[in-house]
Amino acid sequence: AELNKHPVEGFSAGLIDDDDIYHWEVLIIGPPDTPFEGGFFKAHLTFPKDYPLKPPKLRFVTDIWHPNIDKTGDVCISILHEPGEDKYGYERPEERWLPIHTVETIMVSVISMLTDPNDESPANIDAAKEWRENKSEFRKRVARCVRKSQES
């Protein structure tokens, strides 16, 4: 209801099925001045029963090539990681999930991730390597994803 009253630029979100508040579909518009510009990327946001104590999961259903999105479409960003200490010591607790996060803060973080990938902690090692070592090939592969997203 809040998103309908105050839409946020760059994405739209809503329930997949009006009877199920735990499964949402989001449409992310590729951010301007990025390789993703012009794309329409669909994803599913699935909330656990103990939300907001635990984070939702975000999975792209549209093909997308990105260092922080694994090959099955699962998004790997700090604010979607379980709250508390990171057993690997990479993330500070305040970077991880906090119950104050909303769909809006999650989506703003995802749009930021598209704009500025974190290749230091990749979910897709091949995309991260290409992002670091062969930006022109990375852009070509993303351009194919953008074209495909426009067709569906």
CA end-to-end span of the chain: 27
Q: Specify whether 76 is catalytic.
A: yes
- 26, 12 in Cβ contact below 8 A? yes
Tokens 């991880």 belong to: 96
- 142, 35 in Cβ contact below 8 A? yes
Catalytic entry in 76, 80, 110, 127 = 76
Element (H, E) at 146: helix 135-151
Active site residues per annotation: 76
